[in-house]
A and B are shown apart, each in its own frame.
Chain A
Amino acid sequence: MPGSSAPWEVERQLLVKTHEKTDPRYGYKPEERPPKEYIRFGLINLDKPAGPSSHEVTAWIKRIVGAERIGHGGTLET
């Protein structure tokens, strides 16, 4: 059977319904968030070493970065 398109190979177009501006007084472009917000709404994609558990590593990162709260979303352990 031939391969099919992976989700990252799908191209989408932007369909425009109307044109509208956004008010610069509210919110930020994600890349331009000031540090506190950038961290709050940020993710780390960690290339985790094989030994420690995700839980341990999450605790380390929380301490290193000084975050108030941090969670993790699952790992591949073979």
Chain B
Amino acid sequence: MEARRVIQPLLLAGKEYVGVMRLHSEVPEKRLRGIFGEFEGRVYQKPPLRSSVKRVVRIRTIYHLDFLEMEGRNVLFRVACQAGTYIRKLCHDIGEALGCGAHMKELRRVRAGPLTEDKDSVTLHEIVYFNSRWKERGDEEALRSFIIPMERALELTPKIYIRDSAVDAICHGANLTAPGAVYFESGIKRDDQVAIMTLKGEAVALAKALVSSEDMLKLDKGFLAKTIRVLMPRGVYPRMWRSQ
């Protein structure tokens, strides 16, 4: 239950789907592949009537749109896109671009951020199986087969690793200062969401970067990140007012 707060970055993370699009007339494969290529990059979408978001046109990025197979008017495709992209609308718009029309027939999400169907998902059957091996035989490997550490959800979030003495302050909501940071990932820009981690790789908090990676390397004092959501309970690491 403590892991609940890591779901937020997952909701905002890119997604991948495999789907079936139904064309309203036969289209040659070559033409279809051409149109697919045109839809990679930015698309403009207005949320549908039934949506919880404001109905203004939004820009979304399609990272990849791959034609997989075609059988008559059914087209199997794979799409990698920014969070909040409506695939149903995408299929509709592809149909418009083709001229004949099309609609989304079936959709399956195969990735949410770092978590993929192949590596990270389990079915209810697998949960029952592994859970009974764990409960009845104490098989810890079985436990780790269906439950993943919450840090896995942060794999794509750029990270700042901090020293032990800086951890508990962050758990109390303090912002991260320069002396606390030990390593960080490259490519962090100001205002990016980052994950503050211990040297053991435990998630401490979600934060907003106040400076870039390059600046973090140079700074000896000042704030590096503003703590937004604490993930680690207080007291796991002792309170240390001074660094070692």
Which A residues are within 8 Å of any B CB, using their own CB?
1-10, 12-23, 26-31, 33, 35, 38-49, 57, 60-61, 64-71, 73-74, 76, 78
State whether B236 touches A26 (Cβ < 8 A): yes
> Secondary structure of the B side of the interface?
mixed
Closest to B244 in A: A20
> Which positions 87-113 of chain B face chain A at CB distance < 8 Å?
104, 106-109, 111-113
What residue in chain B is nearest A25 (Cβ atoms)?
Answer: B238
B59 part of interface (Cβ distance < 8 Å)? no
Contacts A18-B182, A26-B237 known; 10 new A-B pairs at CB < 8 A: A1-B40, A1-B42, A15-B186, A20-B164, A41-B2, A44-B146, A46-B127, A65-B127, A67-B1, A78-B106
Complex alpha-carbon distance, A4 and B80, angstroms: 10
- State in angstroms the CA–CA spacing of A15 and B187 once bound together: 10
Main secondary structure of the interface of A (DSSP, over half): loop
CB-defined contacts of B121 to chain A, threshold 8 Å: 45-47
A4–B1 alpha-carbon span in the complex (Å): 35
B127's partner among A7, A41, A64 (CB-CB below 8 A) is A64
